[in-house]
Amino acid sequence: MATATANTITQTTYVSPTRQRVMGMVFLGFAVAIWVLFGRETEPGVITTFGMAVGAQAGSIEPLRLPSLATLNILALASAFVGAGQLARGFGRYTNWMLALVTGFFIFSFLTWAAADKSLNLVGLLNTSLSRAVPITLGAMSGILCERAGVVNIAIEGMMLFGAMSGTLVASVTDNLWLGVLAAVITGALLAVVHAVFSIKYMVDQIVSGTVINIFSVGMTSYISSKFLQHYQELNRPGTFRAFPIPVLADIPVVGPILFNNNMFVYAMFAFLILLHVALFYTRWGLRLRSVGEHPRAADTLGINVFRTRYMAVILGGMMAGFGGAFFSLGSVGRFDEVMTAGRGFIGLAAMIFGNWTPFGAFGAGLLFGFADSLQARLAILGIPIPSQFLLMVPYVATMIVLAGVVGRGEMPAADGQPYVKE
């Protein structure tokens, strides 16, 4: 028994020597990059100022002032120390956490360099990043629901776009934002039914089915927008959900304004994250859904209705995508514009893969995309001589690195994308 336990522990914490050396070199590379790219470009005596409050707390919390060069040197040394430790002994199962830590050092170094002799509101940046991560995370959770059951859904973009338009139209006509959200959710569900019927019943190639829905959504929403919404402005004025602070929690310094002073879409995202994680990994329902995505024939043998489970998963995923689409119009700008989702559904799929088909992993990836999106706008204000396009490339480059296996191979459901034929 003791031997079996020891073997289990060894398998859990084992990291190959090659990967240990590669990760050690990556950490050292971050250290060198911090010193070369930022440290050498910073003059001694320069101060970086980070704002640590927004809204009502703006005048009550002092900004964080750091000596720029000393901060950069410390972060470079810390990254080098982690890299040396990785090369010498390795961190076992904590290697990925060390990668996240060193990446955080690099990002903070970049912010310190960018705001040297200037001021950057760090809390405001993080709050905006969280808001922009909402539709990406919701899109990723839509993909998780579908792909955990074995159905690839690249139609998330189209479902979100159509949901944004239908939510705007219904909310404008009824003067009720909640009815607009309901319309967006129903729209996503209807499109998901189409995708499910094509993919599950008629076994159409799932990529083709999703692409058709995306093309249909772009065409129909653009036509309705140009034909009606632009000419009858009363149909395109739904209003938006306002941010409302949670009593007591919103008054917590620094953290309060970021997490507890948002509109309902942010709170709903956190609720869905917890609900989906628990449902997938701690309930019988989640076990059956995952078994259908891993080995549908075995699940069928055990009495699980594979077709019904897949239909249910795809429709729930469509509802999630429709809700995410409502964020663009009812939770952000208060109107519908053509192709306003701007590829966020596809980015959600990348976040799903980045997060290894898990809700909280996808949320972390969504935060990375949201942070890059928010950062490029802030740095343009600071006058940093870096084209915004390069900043927008960062999350995509990070995704390619992850898919290449730097933080471990992703484990997609074994039957993902494979139609099931009952014998």
Q: Report DSSP letters for 150-190, one per residue.
A: T---TTHHHHHHHHHHHHHHHHHHHT-HHHHHHHHHHHHHH
| Gap between the Cα atoms of 320 and 341, Å rounded | 15
Tell whether 91 and 153 lie within a shared domain.
no
What is the average per-residue pLDDT within 203-226? 95
Tell whether 308 and 267 lie within a shared domain.
yes
Q: Are strands 244-245 and 119-121 parallel, antiparallel or unpaired?
A: unpaired
Tell whether 47 and 182 lie within a shared domain.
no
Among candidate residues 343, 372, 354, the one with its CA nearest the CA of residue 410: 354
Tell whether 302 and 163 lie within a shared domain.
yes
Tell whether 68 and 94 lie within a shared domain.
yes
Tokens of 199: 């993919």
What is the average per-residue pLDDT within 321-331? 96
| Gap between the Cα atoms of 148 and 320, Å rounded | 15
Tell whether 78 and 144 lie within a shared domain.
no
| Gap between the Cα atoms of 143 and 145, Å rounded | 5
Q: Which residues lie below 8 Å from residue 102, measured CB to CB, with a gap of 6+?
A: 26, 27, 30, 31, 79, 82, 83
* Residue that terminates a domain, selected from 117, 142, 173: 117
Give the range of the structural domain holding residue 397, as residue numbers without chain letter. Answer: 123-403
Dihedral in degrees, nearest 10, Cα atoms 328, 331, 333, 335: 70
Average pLDDT in the chain: 88
74 band by pLDDT with thresholds 50, 70 and 90: very high
The whole-number pLDDT of residue 7 equals 44
419 in a domain, yes or no? no
What is the number of structural domains in the chain? 2
pLDDT per residue as tens digits for the range 146-205 = 999 999 999 999 999 999 999 999 999 999 999 999 999 999 999 999 999 999 999 999
Residue 311: count other Cβ atoms within 10 Å of its Cβ: 20
The whole model's pTM is what?
0.89
* Cα 250 from chain centre: 23
The whole-number pLDDT of residue 312 equals 97
What is the average per-residue pLDDT within 334-346? 92
The whole-number pLDDT of residue 404 equals 60
The whole-number pLDDT of residue 349 equals 92
pLDDT per residue as tens digits for the range 352-367 = 988 889 999 999 889 9
Place of tokens 């000393």: 70
One-letter amino acid for residue 90 of the chain: G
* Residue that terminates a domain, selected from 117, 140, 159: 117
Q: Which helix (H) or strand (E) holds 262?
A: strand 261-262
The whole-number pLDDT of residue 13 equals 47
Tokens of 321: 């995508």
| Gap between the Cα atoms of 230 and 113, Å rounded | 44
CA 323-329-332 angle, to 5 degrees, is 100
Assess whether pLDDT exceeds 60 at residue 407. Answer: no
408 in a domain, yes or no? no
CA 318-172-259 angle, to 5 degrees, is 60
